[in-house]
Chains A and B, each alone.
Chain A
């Protein structure tokens, strides 16, 4: 009989990955560009290389937790849902993991935000499900630049060094005390959504730096958002950095990233052949 050890080969991971890719396409999702696809594949493979031991211990995967029948300040009934992975060790010690495709530096800087989330999940797990819980943590699957670089150059020695430096597991302290406040905050957001309140962050918010991201909100969030063009806050932000109408126009015309980024996107898209042909 095969031991689990030799079951998970890089080929096996490739197969799982390709199958999901195919499923996503069958579900009508837009095709990923080869560049992005490679990056996703790398994340999965590096997760396995770096966290094999942890992955082997996972006892419950993609557990859907739900906090039903909450009341918002305005009296709306709603539920909260989240997904976690659970590791139960032989001695019963139980850890809850939230896998994020985020960057670990960002998560470390914004620990509070992740703590709030995991506390709600922990509350559901302990109080509603009556399960044991000893620790919570976030796993960040975004690989550091040097891992990406080592993979690109196919440099095994550099890869070993880069992986050693990478710490994708970030423990989060859990404390049931904050849950009530988080749920109340959640309820307030539900009311704002249902009450049609969609005011964007202000111009000042856009200029502020995002903790853990070393860039402004306008770059970290807005630059990846197609709705920025019609957004008054972003328009004001863009005007602020341009002295004349002409330079403002230039800003917008060149709003699609620097040469490197444009090259990356362009190269990735080159060989995509349109399915209905160009005739």
Chain B
């Protein structure tokens, strides 16, 4: 019988029939959660409990059974990647349903994404504006942009001025107060930013803070006020991630109907939401009261970003307070991921801490009791012998080698090494031990990304083309950075010596850069002599011949000035009454035909880089690591290019401006910040390499084999928490004295619960090396590697995703057929194309035509109704 016929006959919800089709057998609590359709819902979900599936099926059910329009659903996730996965899953399930029922659906209008992207959308869309006109979103600074903005001399000087600080002593004073060290401006700027963001996330207005007894607090609060003034004063209105939420909240609170737009508000990873977000969510759910939160307080990781785990733990009472009704609580606690031994181990680990509240109750959600679904008994947690780090690393490396050799894993990328921080010495020790066994690792974020061999070589070649700033008389990180730059330049020189064509290529590009600068200087001199105004409109009649005949000008610049195509554009602008400014004529005459990103790709022509692409492309035993690093680098270069140097022309080359901006400021900032350890990981990981990740990066992921490479983290209360504790008194947060311990427990819990088949724990014991006491107590009952039979580890199967993959006829099938290699590089490795215009072009045309059709369809309907 067709599904459509079944639908007509059976009283069972349609999703239940779809489950069969997708081979999904929900357990009782999953089923209950999926079918829940009215009123608030609280879903504490343990690791590996299939929460993504539950979310997907729940939305599917709302749409199919309860006639909820997709655009009435707000679904927010922690990362863009998670949003993408959910969107693809919904596409699969709803697509399957609509082929059978004939009911189409439109995912494009659904609010699904990170809180930030949804905030941006709410700032634009009519539904949320008081007068229902389209709003304008401010330009958003991400973490790196925010740092560059604050760190900029002009901004920083004004912030210090607002605080009444002298530049000579300011950094030391700020660092002493905010928990940084020494006189470093970088440390001062970074911790000041963290303070700003926290105020924004907690929705604390400067005026509401009592600073009367605390002159140091008063200073940074004044800086915060000035920071906001600076953002507002910039040409394009700017905002940062934290303030964006406040702006969205303000729009929501202003509009009377903003609480009715969504019939359902669904939030994933709710344990990592902050105060501003909580307010947004309750506001959005205020009319229909259908708020569903999913998360795991035991996996809360982001306190340092303002996340308040209490939002989750106390969700039932918050819900009663804001919506006047208690949520239905359904714990999802069957673990489908790990072997029973692993589940029991991390359960015991969590019990090493006392979670009881002094006056009764718990700091955890205690309704969930994680039970393993898998049945394979036997040891699945092993530890190294308690030994000095070198011996431990060697023992673990031998085990890993054996697991790969005996095919317990399909690829080295199925074995993950997890660390509290990748800046630890233990990391490098472990990498060395693995490499000594002939194994390759992938750790672009251990140390500085710039220090990876690929970035070093590529940026070294850039330095040869553009030149680089000389080293100044400073020590510390500055000194280290210039050591890297020296090394990069030397590497560039080495490579160019090896390859005569590369050398000639660099010479040619360098000559172009020099010519362009010289031309610009000559033209500028001429403009000065003639007393022309660079910002005035270009008058070809009076100026063209003079410019072209400027003595010493290169043929190319002369050609540009006389180019028919260029002059056509110039005339058109004059006819439109909006003549091109003279400065742009100088720019056109001296601009390079290539961008920084073009140059990046051109360098991949040469053997050193081309070989990396060969290694990634081969089907047997590929090595994708180097190409993944190059892809990341394409992103960094493109970002610099777009924000600071869209065109390389004489104006940018004068007085070494480009090299100062690129090497002296941008790359230096990347070096100082290090690559954030909390950045999303590139999942899936490059084939042929063993990934090294921070525990934060491993959130939401799973691996057949997990090695906890350093079970040591000393709980230390963060300075920011001390500063904010009095400001947040009465908010019901965890006691200051316990926070660091709780956070440490949760972090290791995340690490331990990533393992599917085998969990390996390093056990350091020597002078100056130890592991956390919580592990000591447990490792006594765990077999050591030497006594462990690797044959007992099940072979890792191919990953099964929450939903089967849907391929686009044009985006995948035709693109692959056009060129499989192009597909690999841009679709799979995500290189940023230099000429990406075609893609955006297509989207823009299609969307506009779609809108046009919608408009016409709508108009026809309303005509039909009135007639």
Contacts and interface: CB of A to CB of B under 8 A. Distances in A.
Interface in B813-856: 813-814, 816-826, 831, 833-838, 840-856
B819 A79 contact: no
- Identify the interface centre among A12, A30, A255, A279: most chain B CB within 10 Å of its CB: A30
Contacts of A22: 124, 136-137
Given A101-B845, A201-B819, A267 B566 contact: yes
A269 B617 CA distance: 34
A249 B504 contact: yes
B853 A277 contact: no
Contacts of A101: 841-842, 845-846
A52 to B, nearest CB: 10
B605 A229 contact: yes
Contacts of B842: 101
- Identify the interface centre among A56, A60, A263: most chain B CB within 10 Å of its CB: A263
A55 B856 contact: yes
Nearest to B661: A278
A224 B816 contact: no
B453 interface: no
A204 interface: no
A93 interface: no
B92 A68 contact: yes
A64 interface: yes
A66 B642 contact: no
Contacts of A232: 610, 614
Contact of B647 (A31, A44, A226, A266): A266
Nearest to B142: A28
A253 B841 contact: no
B134 A7 contact: no
B348 interface: no
Interface string A23-50: 1101101111100100110011001100
B857 A186 contact: no
A31 B569 CA distance: 21
Interface string A191-223: 011011111110000000000000000000100
Contacts, number: 317
A66 B806 contact: yes
B644 A253 contact: no
B233 interface: no
Contact of B813 (A1, A189, A199): A189
Contact of B604 (A27, A59, A229): A229
- Identify the interface centre among A19, A40, A275: most chain B CB within 10 Å of its CB: A275
A235 B611 CA distance: 13
Interface in B99-148: 99-100, 102, 104-108, 117, 120-121, 124, 134, 136-137, 139, 145, 148
A30 B844 contact: no
Nearest to B120: A26
A4 B837 contact: no
A78 B804 contact: yes
B845 A129 contact: no
A36 to B, nearest CB: 5
B812 interface: yes
B811 to A, nearest CB: 9
Interface in A140-188: 141, 186
A276 interface: yes
Contacts of A275: 139, 236, 642-643
Contact of A68 (B99, B566, B588, B817): B99
B824 A198 contact: yes
A66 B90 CA distance: 12
Contacts of B92: 66, 68, 79
Nearest to B617: A198
A221 B145 contact: no
Interface in B495-519: 500-501, 504-505, 508-509
Contact of B124 (A13, A26, A196): A26
B95 interface: yes
Given A32-B837, A63-B104, A201-B819, A195 B619 contact: yes
B646 to A, nearest CB: 5
A227 B99 contact: no
B99 A129 contact: yes
A249 B505 contact: yes
B724 interface: no
Contact of B95 (A33, A68, A130, A276): A68
A227 B806 contact: no
- Identify the interface centre among A56, A82, A200: most chain B CB within 10 Å of its CB: A200
Interface in B636-682: 638, 642-647, 652, 657, 661
Contacts of A131: 102
B613 interface: yes
Given A249-B505, A263-B565, A66 B98 contact: yes
B366 interface: no
Interface in A228-261: 229-232, 235, 245-246, 248-249, 252-253, 255-257, 259-260
Contacts of A48: 852
- Identify the interface centre among B609, B825, B851: most chain A CB within 10 Å of its CB: B851
Contact of B610 (A128, A230, A262): A230
B810 interface: yes
- Identify the interface centre among B106, B500, B856, B862: most chain A CB within 10 Å of its CB: B856
A103 to B, nearest CB: 13
A190 interface: yes
Nearest to A200: B821
B829 to A, nearest CB: 10
B858 to A, nearest CB: 9
Contacts of A263: 560, 563, 565-566
Contacts of B339: none
A4 B614 CA distance: 57
B593 A226 contact: no
Nearest to A198: B824
Nearest to A264: B565
A199 B594 CA distance: 28
Interface string B52-95: 00000000000000000000000000000000000000011001
B809 A78 contact: no
B643 A58 contact: no
A269 B816 contact: no
Contact of B856 (A8, A20, A245): A8
A135 interface: no
Nearest to A99: B849
Contacts of B532: none
Contacts of B102: 129-131
Interface in B572-619: 580, 584, 587-588, 591, 593-594, 597-598, 601-605, 609-610, 613-614, 617, 619
Given A235-B605, A252-B602, A78 B807 contact: yes
A124 B99 contact: yes
Contacts of A120: 809
28 contacts: A1-B863, A20-B848, A23-B847, A40-B845, A40-B848, A56-B856, A68-B96, A68-B99, A69-B21, A79-B96, A117-B810, A117-B814, A196-B619, A225-B819, A226-B598, A227-B601, A229-B603, A235-B605, A235-B610, A253-B509, A264-B565, A270-B580, A270-B647, A274-B646, A275-B236, A276-B149, A277-B644, A279-B152
Interface of B: 4, 21-22, 91-92, 95-96, 98-100, 102, 104-108, 117, 120-121, 124, 134, 136-137, 139, 145, 148-149, 152, 154, 236, 500-501, 504-505, 508-509, 559-560, 563, 565-566, 569, 580, 584, 587-588, 591, 593-594, 597-598, 601-605, 609-610, 613-614, 617, 619, 622, 638, 642-647, 652, 657, 661, 687, 804-810, 812-814, 816-826, 831, 833-838, 840-857, 859-860, 862-863, 866
Q: What are the 5 A-B residue pairs with the smallest beta carbon separation, nearest first?
A: A66-B95, A61-B853, A200-B821, A4-B859, A79-B806
Given A200-B822, A230-B601, A270-B647, 20 more contacts: A1-B863, A7-B856, A55-B852, A66-B92, A78-B805, A78-B807, A121-B809, A186-B809, A189-B817, A195-B619, A200-B820, A221-B818, A226-B597, A227-B604, A229-B602, A229-B603, A259-B559, A266-B591, A272-B646, A274-B643
